[in-house]
Chains A and B, each alone.
Chain A
Amino acid sequence: MLESRIIDQLKKIVGDDNVATDRQDLICYGYDATQMEFLPDAVVHPGSPAEIAAILKLANAERFPVFPRGAGSGFTGGALPKGGGIVLVTTRLNRILRIDTENLIAEVEPGVVTEQFQLAVEKLGLFYPPDPASLKFSTLGGNVAENAGGPRCVKYGVTRDFVMGLEVVLPSGEIIRTGGETYKGVVGYDLTRLLCGSEGTLGVITKIIFKLLPLPEAKKTMLTVFDSIDGAAKAVSTIIGGKIIPTTLEFMDYATLQCVEKRFNLGIPAAGRAVLLIEVDGDRELIEKQAARIQELIKPLGLVECKVAKDAAESEALWKVRRLVSPSLRDVNPTKYNEDIVVPRSKVPDVIRKIDAIAQKYAIPIVNFGHAGDGNIHVNVMIDKEIPGMEEKAHEAIAEIFKAALDLNGTMSGEHGVGLAKQPYIPLELSPVQIATMQAVKKALDPNGILNPGKMFPT
């Protein structure tokens, strides 16, 4: 419990209306998309970097933990106030400060919602590609802190690849800038990259300078159905080997197709064992050619069906198949553990086979879909918590899945981060020396351990 003296000081910093201590508020800032729940002692809504700096200084003086939070859509509990302290919500910092059409950069505050930013730059003919599925509600600060990715990342890269510079309040309460507005820059350590994906443990991001691209003229969407997972995987490498990098290469395995078909009856051919949703973008003429070429390339690979969208409405209809995946999973089992392992592209069929074997071994349904283009697979371990023992079995299965990915030179998480959810598994991927190196950085920046403590590393 924070003493009321400290609450009063917080109120002095941000104003009475921006500090909440009612139990109702604590509940509403105690969860995120992991569905775990930890109640903070207070929720604070600062309105400026200076206020955030003052809060962190106070936190050091009084030694209470501060948990940065954007929209609370994280999948690993990064924003959860485990152990108590204050939740620091960034959503009042929600201005797009400038969009510079000459230098193709933009500067934003961290609380801007991803899609709002995309729409704003697109109005000017510019393009911010990173597209996490949560883009309608996640914040850009949260995207940077988790280094979020999405379907378009095959071609364009992840959030980190668009961050040129940051303004950050360090755990000490000092404000620094990292990186800048130039495409080149080699003076000093690359703190910008260090902060991307740091999950709110090294500083509170208060401004972000993004790189932008010209908006592609058009896009073309295809839904392709294969008679085997290998065919679909081969299609991915054949397309890329054919010197075409699609914007998107989303895949769904047989278990996923069965779920979607059962609930929504979309008419996917019965012989289908895997689906690839392929999208190309660019000049209108070029993408027509690319689409035709892709169809040629994948035809011999056990293609059962190929639907090509003629316009935006048809494209949306094809995307619907992908979007309906999540809602249909609940039919399998009520609770899902949503992991997001990555393996080298060519290893996707191998890892899927291993996961199928794990599913059999533990008798737990596992549904796989995701970003085949970059080998990032959403592995959904579906359980029913009411069935005794199932939860424990799921954790064992997950550990095996991680090991399978690591054995194939992959990683445990491509986008969702570590937070609390993956913390116990970290030693599977990182050596003690790697962990110690990272902890040394943390210790140097946050000697009192006040900023998002208890996350990422095993405790």
Chain B
Amino acid sequence: MDPLKRVENELKKCVKCGACRAHCPAFTAFQREPAVARGKVALAQHLLEGDIELDDATYAAMSKCLLCGSCVEKCPNDVPTDEIVMVARESLAQKRGLTTFHKAVGQVLKNRRLMSFGAFAATILGPLFFRKVPQTSGLRLRFPLPFVGNKRHIPQIARKPFLTRHPEVIAGEPGKPRIVFFVGCMTNFVYTEVGEAALALFRHLGCTVIIPKEQQCCGLPGMSGGDLETVRQLAEQNLAALEKYEADYVMTACATCGGALHKFYPALIGKRHPELAERIRAIADKTVDAAQLLQQLGLHPEETGAGDAVRITYHDPCHLRTRAITRQPRELLKGSPGVELVEMEGSDKCCGLGGTFNVYHYETSLQINEGKSIAIDKTGAEAVVTGCPGCMMQLSDGLKQRGSRTRVMHTLEILARSLRS
């Protein structure tokens, strides 16, 4: 069956009003209708009707989506274009085969043994990280990817992944909430300090923090590439890991992972695997963002976040914004002594990372990011703070390319300033 059949009714909901033109970052960048949500929905409809081919032009249009959900949030008719695009990519992948990049992603994501530092860096982050490697290097030949470019600034990869640093259960005070920490790849391999900050904060509140060792990548790169079979396998492994211990919450400090557990697992996997649906729902209902949960549990940022005077600005990750988590991190940040929060213009605009969008459309992704960098620097902030390690990487790349010295930090790093100094 054509996977698009599953979203047939969703496709019909689109009335072609064009409201998404105002909110779609892909459209803002490309300025052509096939890139806007409405265009992609129309193309998916025609694909389903079988009157266009799965040719390069269809492929190109479907690749122009950051899966940011901005259109979905603003669509008067609740058209889930992000989901539709993933399913369209699945349909494309089934008929045309996965691209080399996504095949590599799939292999690594599926194979737990490969989830070691080396394989992860080489394959998932490889395309991003090896841009600085000369064109002629054998390394590049091993990754024959559809993009080239030597500009990208690469974050340091952690010596010791976060997951290997701590025991699985860190007991807190009795009667206090029990929290399962879903770490995510970026925190595990790159921004380990975000994981440490999360741990410190929830321990400060007396919570028991559980960090299941068997947890995997959330699978967003797989969803992004239409490799939903891989995503299903990952989801199953993650479900098992997250269900292993009795807990009150599943906490993420990565907006993208949170979005996957909260929204995309139920929409993409739950719907087609009814046998998993209930478990997926249960985890989705428990999934909370770290800042959201900290506020809910009554964190006093004046106890944990005090530090030197610093002027910051806040970037809304799409996958927090579309879950209405915009107020909580700001309130906590403002409550941290020494922190001055200055709003940038367009804090709600996408940073341009977009799943694997920035692999295929690196220049455009940077172009989207450039406006962001300019807005950040205009505030005169010393640091831009956000709630997603994916955004952190993208923001820091953009800022460095502009020669800006503004630092990039996670909300939790600010909130835990006095805990860890």
Contacts and interface: CB of A to CB of B under 8 A. Distances in A.
Interface stretch (B17-25, B299-307, B395-403): B17-25
A115 B19 CA distance: 12
Interface of A is mostly: loop
A32 B21 CA distance: 12
Given A22-B57, A28-B33, A35 B15 contact: yes
Given A22-B57, A24-B34, A24-B52, A330 B13 contact: yes
Nearest to A324: B76
Interface stretch (B38-46, B168-176, B179-187): B38-46
Interface in B14-60: 15-22, 31-34, 38-39, 42-43, 46, 52, 57-58
A327 B42 contact: no
Contact of A31 (B16, B21, B57): B16
A294 interface: no
Contact of A71 (B13, B21, B52): B21
A218 interface: no
A172 to B, nearest CB: 29
B34 A28 contact: yes
Nearest to B61: A24
A25 B21 contact: no
Interface in A26-74: 27-29, 31-35, 45, 71-73
Contacts of B19: 134, 136-137
Nearest to A325: B76
B22 A137 contact: yes
Contacts of A34: 16
Contacts of A23: 52, 57
Contacts of B57: 22-25
Given A22-B57, A24-B61, A326-B76, A29 B33 contact: yes
A72 B22 contact: no
B31 A91 contact: yes
A458 interface: no
B22 A27 contact: no
A138 B22 CA distance: 9
B16 A35 contact: yes
Contact of A27 (B15, B43, B76): B43
A83 interface: no
B232 to A, nearest CB: 30
B17 A115 contact: no
A387 to B, nearest CB: 15
Contact of A33 (B16, B31, B32, B78): B16
Contacts of A92: 31
A125 interface: no
B6 interface: no
Contacts, number: 72
B42 A115 contact: no
Contact of B58 (A20, A24, A138): A24
Given A31-B16, A71-B21, A136-B19, A327 B33 contact: no
B94 interface: no
Interface residues of B, number: 26
Contacts of A45: 32
A447 interface: no
Contacts of B16: 31-35, 72
B327 to A, nearest CB: 12
Contacts of B61: 24, 28
Contact of A24 (B13, B21, B31, B43): B43
B33 to A, nearest CB: 4
A113 B22 contact: yes
Given A24-B58, A25-B34, A91-B31, A73 B18 contact: yes
Given A24-B34, A33-B17, A73-B17, A327 B52 contact: no
A33 B77 CA distance: 13
Nearest to A18: B32
B15 A33 contact: yes
B21 A137 contact: yes
A269 interface: no
Given A25-B34, A91-B31, A330 B77 contact: yes
Contacts of A137: 18-22
Given A23-B52, A24-B57, A31-B16, A136 B22 contact: yes
A223 B122 CA distance: 59
B18 A71 contact: yes
A334 B12 contact: yes
B78 A28 contact: no
Pick from A32, A72, A138 the residue with the most CB of B within 10 Å: A72
A123 to B, nearest CB: 11
Nearest to B56: A22
Contacts of A25: 32-34, 57
9 closest Cβ pairs, A-B complex: A136-B22, A28-B33, A28-B39, A137-B21, A73-B18, A24-B57, A22-B57, A137-B22, A327-B76
12 contacts: A25-B32, A27-B46, A28-B39, A28-B61, A29-B33, A33-B16, A35-B16, A45-B32, A71-B18, A73-B18, A92-B31, A137-B18
Given A136-B22, A138-B18, 11 more contacts: A25-B33, A28-B42, A29-B33, A45-B32, A71-B18, A72-B16, A73-B21, A91-B31, A137-B21, A327-B78, A330-B13
